[in-house]
Amino acid sequence: MKLMKSLAVAALAGALGAGAAVAEEVKIGIAAEPYPPFASLDSSGEWGGWEIEIINAVCAAAELDCVITPVAWDGIIPSLTGQQIDAIMASMSITDERMKTIDFSDPYYNTPAVIVADKLIDIEPNAESLKGKVLGVQAATTHQAYATEHFADSAAEIRVYQTQDEANQDLVSGRIDAMQADSIAMSEFVNSDAGTCCEIKGTVPKDESILGKGVGAGLRKGDDDLREKINAGIAKIIEDGTHEEITARYFDTSILAE
67 SS3 class: strand
**Taking residues 161-179, what's their average pLDDT?**
97
Task: Describe the crossing of helices 224-239 and 50-61 by its angle, rounded to 10 degrees.
Answer: 110
Nearest to 86 by CA among 62, 61, 110, 69: 69
pLDDT tens-digit series, residues 77-95:
999 999 999 999 999 999 9
Q: Which residues pair with 88 in a beta bridge?
A: 29, 218
Are 217 and 47 contacting, i.e. CB atoms less than 8 angstroms apart? no
**Taking residues 235-256, what's their average pLDDT?**
95
Task: Work out the percent of the chain whose per-residue pLDDT is above 90.
Answer: 88
Q: How far is CA 14 from the centre of its chain?
A: 40
pLDDT attached to residue 252 = 87
pLDDT attached to residue 256 = 87
Is pTM, for the whole model, over 0.75? yes
Confidence band for 24, pLDDT divided at 50, 70 and 90: confident
State phi, psi for 139 to the nearest 5 degrees: -65, 150
Please say if the pLDDT value at position 11 is more than 60: no
pLDDT attached to residue 5 = 39
- Pairing assessment for the beta strands 134-138 and 178-182 based on DSSP bridges: parallel
pLDDT tens-digit series, residues 42-64:
999 999 999 999 999 999 999 99
Please say if the pLDDT value at position 1 is more than 60: no
Least confident window among 16-25, 83-92, 149-158: 16-25
| Average per-residue pLDDT for the chain | 92
Dist CA 112 CA 202 (whole Å): 10
Q: 37 Cβ partners below 8 Å, 6+ apart?
A: 49, 50, 184, 185, 188, 250, 251
The helix (run of H) or strand (run of E) holding residue 109 is strand 103-109
159 SS3 class: strand
Higher pLDDT: 13 or 83? It is 83
Question: Most distant CA pair in the chain: distance in Å?
Answer: 86
Please say if the pLDDT value at position 14 is more than 60: no
Task: Work out the percent of the chain whose per-residue pLDDT is above 70.
Answer: 90
40 SS3 class: strand
Are 90 and 29 contacting, i.e. CB atoms less than 8 angstroms apart? yes
**Taking residues 137-154, what's their average pLDDT?**
97
pLDDT tens-digit series, residues 26-44:
999 999 999 999 999 999 9
pLDDT attached to residue 23 = 62
pLDDT tens-digit series, residues 92-109:
999 999 999 999 999 999
